[in-house]
Chain A
Amino acid sequence: MYEEEIRALSVKLLDEVEGVIGYSWGTLPFRARPFLCQKKEDVTHLVFNHFCGSNLARYLLSGELKEKKIAILAKACDARAITVLIREGQVKRENLVIVGIPCYGMVDRKKLEERFGPLQPQDFEWHLDSLTFKGENLSIGPFLEATCQRCLHPNPPLYDHLIGQEVTYIPRKRWNNDALTKLDMVSREERWAFFAGEFEKCIRCYACRNSCPLCYCKECFAEMQRPYWLSGAATPSENLFFHVGRSLHMAGRCVECGACERACPVDIPIALLPCKVEELIRGNFDFEAGIDPDKEPPLLTYRENDPGEFIR
């Protein structure tokens, strides 16, 4: 999708920037990977499709790119992450050319497999909000990643160039399939049974943290020696400690992109935790990360009438 536009623009941009961060096809089908395009002859590798799930803002932080003038392809959540990074002083706005892409959502390969069995790329044709499987046209909604089904901001809030047309609907309303709300409806013990099972599975590889565009600490609390917050043992209690701790570090910063859970090798829907915190912040502190760069982040401010009934 949009490939002609993206490639033509990249050729132009490469006159003024050192590279364009985008996506290319990976070695596996149904999987795109981040790609740094530095030569005009390489723009043909640039692609955009429903499998571009990694949040490219993450790559702005890598040492070699940090001080350079760079163009970056940005889905709505990538652009939100960039907004947070600028606000936090991690990247300079003047070093960036942001190529915004209105986003119809990323497709979850597992959902495709469940429905269609072993996947063959040639059986599929992809359109903005639908797909064709062996001639049959289907809505893309049921196959989207959980975080995309509950997305509230499909259009990038910040960009220099915009590819394509803005999305005209709110995905959360249209797909009406919010994993958080589903969990809200079950009892506390059922939720615990679910999460305990997930924390049991976690191997603490930190792929979730490492793929998150906003987990950029040079020394993460998970690996600190002083204080020695938690051991490296991947036991359920340590895993819960890590994930609750990380979710609180993301409070008011998580852009709900789902990159963390896409990266998880054991399929833990780990974005549920930071997204739950964002939902609490949205409802109680009237804030959304990466939307308005001038708004004070929620934990750096307070209101006298904040919720306080839980305090004796």
Chain B
Amino acid sequence: MVNEDRWEPKIVAFLCHWCSYAGADLAGVSRIQYPPNVRVIRVPCSGAVNPLYILRALREGADGVLVSGCHPGDCHYLSGNYFARRKFFLLKELLSWLGIEEERVQFSWVSASEGQRFAQVVQDVVESVKRIGPSRKMVKEFLLHV
């Protein structure tokens, strides 16, 4: 059982290699402080993020998922993020319609030069997930009862 008093959200962040991952790196080397709740997974492109990755992270107990890629027009592969945007839109709308909290799955565009912005995005995501509390609806049942 999650101890609600000491609970800190776990956020899985899928960051594209060319922009957001580099942005996170810049935040790091610039010593910009941001909450330690994110677990970063580097992916080649936001377009390579299969929605099943997001569902799986949530089922395995993530309280929130952040997917971040290059700004529109800046994709290293030219249009991966445009394709991604359609998929993410459908996933987000469907989950929200089913009754999942909107804050559980969030998206951002962060470029390689936006270290400060990356820190801010993480800050915002962590705060919004803290407000809604631990994830319950999509998590494997036995993780909720150990």
Contacts and interface: CB of A to CB of B under 8 A. Distances in A.
A277 B94 contact: yes
Interface residues of A, number: 42
A46 to B, nearest CB: 39
A302 B79 contact: yes
B52 A221 contact: yes
Contacts of A299: 83, 86-87
Given A192-B137, A196-B137, A237-B139, A244 B55 contact: yes
Nearest to B96: A188
Interface in A257-292: 273, 276-277, 280-281, 284-285
A184 B96 CA distance: 11
Interface string B85-98: 11111111111111
A189 interface: yes
B127 interface: no
A304 B82 contact: yes
A308 interface: yes
Contact of A306 (B82, B97, B124, B138): B82
B130 interface: no
B109 interface: yes
A312 B97 contact: no
A235 interface: yes
B124 A312 contact: yes
B107 A310 contact: yes
B108 interface: yes
B99 A311 contact: no
* Interface pairs A-B: 10 shortest CB-CB: A192-B99, A312-B108, A302-B82, A311-B107, A191-B99, A195-B98, A188-B99, A235-B141, A237-B140, A248-B51
